Chain A
Amino acid sequence: MSDHISKTPADNSDDLSRLYRAAPTAEPPAPLDAAIRAAARRELAAAIDSKPRFWHRWGTSLASAALLVLAVGVILQLQRETPTALTSAPAPERTATPQPATPEPELALEIAAPATKADTAVMATDAVVKQELRRRAVRDDAVADYQAQPGPKLSVEGKTANADRSRASVLSQGVIEERMSTAPAAATAAPGPIPQPQAIIPLDGRSALQRSEVKQKAATAEHDAITEFSAQSDRSASAEREPEPEPAASMTRKFARESAPDRPTPMSPATGAADLDARTAVIDDWLRRIEALLQARKLPQAEQQLRAFHQQYADYPLPKLQQRFGRQWVDDTLKPPSQ
């Protein structure tokens, strides 16, 4: 307590210090003590509550912002994951057109994930989707015409239900057609569940090419046969008259009657009755012209045409050829050169 900075009596205040300490001491009032102590505790409590107070003030705002960010993220993610073919396709119109039965849900899910399919399957699916879009456009035109006509219309709810069924039908149909396009030919010969078989014809490019070649060769053979037949007809004017060949119409009916039970046909699985008739007519005409060449004694030309016919229609029943032109001649003509 005392400072001994000087040894002089004037600097030594020990006596005064003792006397001063003996003087009555004063203390702050008790309420003042309590107020100061309470203030000290209040400040500590305020400091401890500062963090919860912050969350209480900003918690709602932060939670709302986080929820908004999460929602935007989910929407963006969904948009990113949705297949382009399906999202870019226009939504089906709410039409009153009758739709096929509602497909199975798993089929629709399969078309919704094309990335898991093989490349061929993806291409086939894309073709199916495009084809469906074209078909839908035609149907929309028909619906527009239908709605333009006076008369009772379906309610909005019915249209909505039909549209939903139409959308599901498109997905299901796409999967079915996709499977058919990748299935073996024997399996594709069976009649499919698609109610519009003409829509599948463009998918069978091989059959279309084959038909094109057949038509081209048939036209050539027909041209040759007609030429020969015309020449033969000119020459046979002075020759003895031979019996008239069987009419083409009756031949066509005969071949159609004979070949029908022996199906499966080698033609396209989706070939309809019109295509079958056209093919039968071409074959019948070709055989008729071979028959004419034989009757005209033009054996080299007849043999050439028979080999061409057999090469083109290898699946044509050989017994029928033998029955029509003679077993010996058919076997000799179609015998491989090495043998």
Chain B
Amino acid sequence: MRDESDEHLMLRYQQGDAGAFDILYQRHKGPLYRYLTRLLAHDQTAEEIYQDVWLRLIQARSRYQASASFRTYLFQIARNRALDHFRSQRRRPQLATHDPADTDELPDAQQLDVADLVHNHSCLARLLELVRDLPDAQRDVFLLKEEAGLSLQEIAALSTENVEAVKSRLRYAIAKLRTGLREFLT
């Protein structure tokens, strides 16, 4: 059961197997939780939306079709809930619109030698701060790539954007992060 695909587990839960849901939840609870907490930058709101996402998945289990990727389906729900939150806060959502930061000049960023940085807690904390400070669209793409493990095509399909736009946002996000971590490169 542990090696079963997400789609198969979801079908089993659809048919009444509660154990299949436990496996699914165990697999995706961390990435989804981090995606929401780092996207929304507010733990309490993120936890409320996190719980609501799972409840919606449970209630909509009968409508799930195995033809769609379960992970894409789960993060699609989470992203839509995040957009609703942004709209409720009368904050102009920036996830699916053009981010003005994308027009900035792409910084000259070089790849990092992370062999020593992975043990540098200050560097890791700084990385998370830099992610939090990314524009919404770039942060969304970066988190979907790193936490959900989605490809650029999957992110483009999920956000109803073209792949080149998604790639551009990701490129800008990476450059900003590398620039912010430059102080640890000595």
Contacts and interface: CB of A to CB of B under 8 A. Distances in A.
B74 interface: no
Nearest to A42: B58
B21 A40 contact: yes
B16 A47 contact: yes
A33 B29 contact: yes
A40 B124 contact: no
Given A39-B54, A39-B55, A44-B18, A15 B114 contact: yes
A82 interface: no
B103 interface: no
Nearest to A36: B54
A25 B55 contact: no
A334 B61 CA distance: 115
Interface in A297-339: none
Interface of A: 1, 3, 5-6, 9-29, 32-33, 35-37, 39-41, 43-44, 47-48
Interface string B170-186: 11001101100100000
Interface stretch (B65-73, B85-93, B94-102, B143-151): B143-151
B185 to A, nearest CB: 11
Pick the most buried of A21, A28, A48: most chain B CB atoms within 10 A of its CB.
Answer: A28
B82 to A, nearest CB: 16
A35 B51 contact: yes
A36 B16 contact: no
Nearest to A17: B146
Contacts of A1: 145-146, 149
The 5 closest A-B CB pairs, nearest first, are A22-B118, A23-B124, A15-B112, A28-B33, A40-B21
Contacts of B51: 32, 35-36
Contact of B58 (A17, A32, A40): A40
19 contacts: A1-B149, A6-B167, A13-B145, A16-B127, A19-B112, A19-B114, A21-B146, A22-B119, A24-B124, A24-B128, A33-B25, A36-B54, A36-B58, A37-B22, A39-B58, A40-B22, A43-B58, A44-B13, A48-B16
A114 B112 CA distance: 111
Contacts of A29: 47
B21 A37 contact: yes
Given A16-B177, A19-B127, A37-B21, A27 B33 contact: yes
Contacts of B159: none
Given A15-B112, A44-B18, A32 B50 contact: yes
Interface of B: 13, 16, 18, 21-22, 25, 29-30, 33-34, 37, 47, 50-51, 54-55, 58-59, 61, 106, 109-114, 117-119, 123-125, 127-128, 131, 145-146, 149, 151-152, 163, 167, 170-171, 174-175, 177-178, 181
Nearest to A24: B124
A12 B16 CA distance: 43
Contacts of A20: 127, 131, 146
A40 B112 contact: no
A10 B128 contact: no
A19 B182 CA distance: 13
B152 A5 contact: yes
Nearest to A43: B58
Contacts of A25: 30, 34
B6 to A, nearest CB: 15
B151 A3 contact: yes
Contacts of B124: 19, 22-24
Given A6-B171, A22-B124, 14 more contacts: A1-B145, A3-B151, A3-B167, A5-B163, A9-B110, A11-B174, A12-B111, A13-B145, A15-B114, A19-B123, A22-B118, A26-B30, A28-B29, A40-B25
